[in-house]
Every structure is written in C-alpha cells, then in structure tokens.
A and B are shown apart, each in its own frame.
Chain A
Amino acid sequence: MSVIEVVDLSIALGGRLVLDTVTLQVGPGEILTIVGPNGSGKTTLLRAMIGAQTAQSGHVRRKAGLRLGYVPQRLAIDPTFPMTVARFLDLPHRHPRKAKDAALARVGIAHLPDRQISALSGGQLQRAMLARAIIGQPHVLLLDEPTQGLDQPGTADFYALIAELRGELGCAVVMVSHDLHVVMSASDRVICLNTHVCCQGAPAIVASAPEYRALFGQGTRGVLALYRHEHDHAHDAFPDRSPARGSDGALAAMHDGADAPGPQDLTG
C-alpha cells in the first residue's frame, strides 16, 4: 500500500558510501521525517526518491502514476532568468489563474503573483516553492530542509501549514529536517538516518531510542512532551494508516533488529 518504497538502497558519491542498504516505505497520507547529522545521506535519500540519483544497488519503487510535489532546499536561480511567481507555478504544467491564486493564498503569499522569484525573501521563496508543489495536487510532498533560514516562529508556522496541507490534500509528506524540536511534534513517523537507518518509528519512540540519543543528545525530550497532545490528535485523524505503520516496524526490525522498536509500539 506504500506510495514510495525504498528497498536495500545503496548509493556511493565520490567513492564514499552515502547510503548503505536503506529500506523504508512511505505510507499514503503520513508525515515522515528524515533526521540525521550532516552528511548522513538525508538529501541523497530524498533525491533518490524523486529519481535524481542513480543507485549502486537496491532500488526505489514509486506507485504507478504517482504525482510528486518537490520543494528543493534552495533554488539557485540565475539573476538573468526572469520569472514571476505566477509563471513559476506554471512549471512544468500550466494551471488556470484561479488555481494559482488559490495556491498562493493557501500558503499566505496571495499578494505576490507578479513579483520576480529572484526578488523574494527566503521565507517568501519557501512559500512560493510550496505553492508550486501543491498546485499539481501531489500524492507525495517532498521537502528538503524546508525551513532553512527561517526564524523560530516562521519555522513553527511552516510546519503547521504542512500539517494542514496534508489534511487538505490527503498527500503523504516526506521531509528532511534539522529542526528536531518541531519535527518531533509535526511528524507521524521519524527515520533517524546515519548512512544506514539507525532507528525509526513514532516520534516518541525514536526520541527515546539509544541510537537517536547517541546522535542528538537528550535535548529534545522536554520539548516533545509539550507537543505530545497535538501529535496524538494527528494520529486519531488518520486511523487508516496503521497497517502501513505495522509493516514499517517489521522492516525496521528486519534491518536493524536490535535498534528498532516492535510494530506494536509504533502507534504510540
């Protein structure tokens, strides 16, 4: 039932093994966050999911006809490239003006359709890229460190928006993130990556896993407690995803048996 399936994926870049037999599944409608230290292969994994990275071994299987909405980490747009926000939303496929206005309003930049992309602030560009990703009604939204360069309130707002959009579009969300505090509150499932999958499961489970604590320390646990109620609420809203979760747990157990929590624990 998963929309994206990564099976035994190994990728080497410049002679260095960046991903080592990574296996994971993205279930329909779930928010899956990939955390890990710098150089742990997070971005490479995301790029492999969109088909931008060839594998040494293993593979990525996407459900047939799967529509992806991708928000890159940054957009190195050349200043000689003229592009209004409205035109940007038409890439790669044209959309009616109404749909574009709605998408821009949804992400909170309704007033910017005629602004040049190169003239946007970091936060505005993030939102423009998100609008472009959601206008095609994606089945999966993939975001690479979407809040880089945003301040704390901006970051919290952005994750809240992602959670709302997931509810409205019914899409799965795969995020790479550094913001451990917020991630833990905003995700259904967290994968802790350090070339291989260290541990995965519900945020509460991952936060207490020894592998996670070894990588990130204890700091996030207090914050997690604050958000736990909201997190449980999100779970109740999507009861139909529990089978996917069970199989994830089984996979995790298969690959990193000693580290991973059992399937029953994962629903919290």
Chain B
Amino acid sequence: MLPDFMIRAGLAGLGVALAAGPLGCFIIWRRMAYFGDATAHAAILGVALAWAAELPIAAGVLAVSLGIGLALSTLSTRQTGADALLGVFAHGALALGLVAASLISDLRMDLSAFLFGDVLAVSWTELATVWGGAALVLALILWRWSALLASTLGPDVAYAAGFHPGRERLVLTLALALVVAFAIKIVGALLIAAMLIMPATAVRPVSRTPEMMALLACAAGAAATLAGLWASWQWDTPTGPSMVVAAAVLFVVIRTGHSALAPRGG
C-alpha cells in the first residue's frame, strides 16, 4: 500500500515529534523561543562547514549549533537585552551559512533540502540517526526532569533543592543542538523551531501539569507530522512546511475549542 519512502518519512517525522514535545515545552516555559530559532538557523552554517570539510552533515550541524547555543547561553545570562543579541547571532549565522553554501557549487543545488527539509528522501540510515538522536534527547530530559522543572520555576528554587541551574541550562542547550542536528533533514533549519514551539503551545490550555503538557505535545507533534505528510502526498505540497501548517491548524482548533467549552480558561 504505502510506498517505502512514505513509511520512512512518517517514522522520521514521528521521531522528531517525540523529542520535540518535551523539549519544546521547556523552550516555551523558559521563554527561549527566539533562542531555539537562533540555534536552528545557525545550523545552515554547520551544513556549509561540514560540506566543505567533507564531514558528516549531522556532525557539522551539531558542532555549530552547540557552539552558537553555548555562546548565546553565556551572553544572555550575562547581560540583559539579550533579545537583540540573539537576533544578531541568529540572522548572522544564517546569512553566513547561506553565503558559505553559495561558494560551494554542489551544495548550492542542495541547499533548499536543508532550509526546508527533505523528509521524503530520508534513508534507512538517516532514519536510524533520527531515532537514535530522539532517544538520546528524551533520555537526557527524563534524567534531568526534576532539576529542569525546579530551574524553570526559578534559579533560587533549584539552588535550594541542591541543583545547579546553569548545568540544567547546558542540558537544554545540548538537547536543542541534538534536535537541530537530526531534524534539519526532516523539517529544515527554518522550521525546526516551529516544530518545537507549536505543538507545546497548542496543548497548553488543556494541560494541568508539566508531565501532561509534555505528553500531549508529543501527541500533537505526531498528529501534525502525519497530517502534514498526508496533505503533502495528497496535494503535492512541500512536506516540512505542510507539517508546520498542520501544527498551526491544531493550535487554532485546540485554542478555539477550549475557549468555546471553558470560557474562563485555565
């Protein structure tokens, strides 16, 4: 029935959705949406560098995203008004990546695959990378769950409980870089942040605890992934953006439904 490449695409998308659910929750709870965007955009620079050095793309993306993530993390904790700095880094790294990519003639042709994703071309090996990466991110977040929640409530709450909020911030930066590295092929650098933020934001009104929100975000992400894939098959639209559009539709439906049913909100 379904061709092989569709099954691979579906499985790859589900892998991204599972890891992006809980991580995306932390990104919105801690108001790191722009931070996520910056780290994801920097991935294009990683693609160009890895291509030039003939290294695996995922390794280059991971290294550059992690580097930018750490730099931003340090800068934004040191000074206020980090918003503008994030913008400089995000767009600077993206532009630099695009310029670098244009200098490499074979990459020029392939660049859109990294900007917008190319989930239908995912190989079994790449699929294994996605699931390996997703498992790693989930394990990392589960392991640090309590400490991450305490740090999210406030650094002093974490300190008093014996945790180190700076370390937990590093955990999130690392998890984010990992997701960017394995999801760039699926949804593309421009829309990775959307897959982190949109499912989590969509399910916020119907969540009562952090655990519930993380699980629902996984489910919403999975639903958006499959719906996007189906729509892309049906109407021959680009797959990555279709998934994000599906997530946006889900957001609108849940918000509208929730405010219609429970006008006082919660």
Contact = CB atoms under 8 A, between A and B. Distances in A.
A92 B210 CA distance: 13
Contacts of B201: 80
A72 B161 contact: no
Interface string B107-150: 00000000000000000000000000000000000000011011
Interface stretch (B13-21, B28-36, B221-229, B248-256): B28-36
Given A75-B153, A91-B150, A116-B266, A68 B160 contact: yes
B163 interface: yes
B105 interface: no
Report whether over half of chain B's contact residues are helix, strand or loop; otherwise say mixed: helix
Interface stretch (A23-31, A81-89, A153-161): A81-89
A77 B92 CA distance: 32
Given A78-B29, A80-B28, A91-B149, A50 B210 contact: no
A72 B29 contact: no
A119 B208 CA distance: 12
B257 interface: no
Contact of A81 (B150, B152, B157, B212): B152
A216 to B, nearest CB: 27
Contacts of A75: 153-154, 157
A111 interface: no
A82 B160 contact: no
Interface residues of A, number: 25
Contacts of A87: 208-211
A80 B204 contact: yes
A87 to B, nearest CB: 5
Contacts of A93: 146
B210 A82 contact: yes
B233 interface: no
Contacts of B161: 68, 70, 91-92
Contacts, number: 74
B4 interface: no
B5 interface: no
B76 to A, nearest CB: 16
A78 B154 CA distance: 10
B232 interface: no
A68 B160 CA distance: 6
B156 to A, nearest CB: 5
A47 interface: yes
B207 interface: yes
A74 B160 CA distance: 14
Given A80-B204, A83-B210, A91 B156 contact: no
Nearest to A72: B156
A51 interface: yes
Contact of A92 (B28, B150, B155, B209): B150
Contact of B156 (A70, A82, A114): A70
A47 B28 CA distance: 27
Contacts of A68: 160-161
Contacts of A78: 28-31, 152
A51 B209 contact: no
Contact of A52 (B29, B30, B156): B156
Interface string A104-145: 000000000010100100000000000000000000001000
B266 A72 contact: no
A76 interface: yes
A78 B209 CA distance: 13
Interface string A45-77: 001001110000000000000001110100111
Nearest to A132: B157
Contacts of A83: 209-210
A72 B209 contact: no
Given A77-B153, A92-B150, A82 B163 contact: no
A206 B180 CA distance: 59
Contact of A142 (B160, B163, B207, B211): B160
Interface of A: 47, 50-52, 68-70, 72, 75-78, 80-84, 87, 91-93, 114, 116, 119, 142
Query: When A and B form their complex, which 4 residue pairs have the shortest distance between CB atoms, in order from nearest?
Result: A70-B160, A52-B159, A92-B161, A50-B160
11 contacts: A70-B156, A70-B161, A72-B156, A77-B153, A78-B30, A80-B204, A81-B210, A82-B212, A82-B213, A87-B209, A142-B160
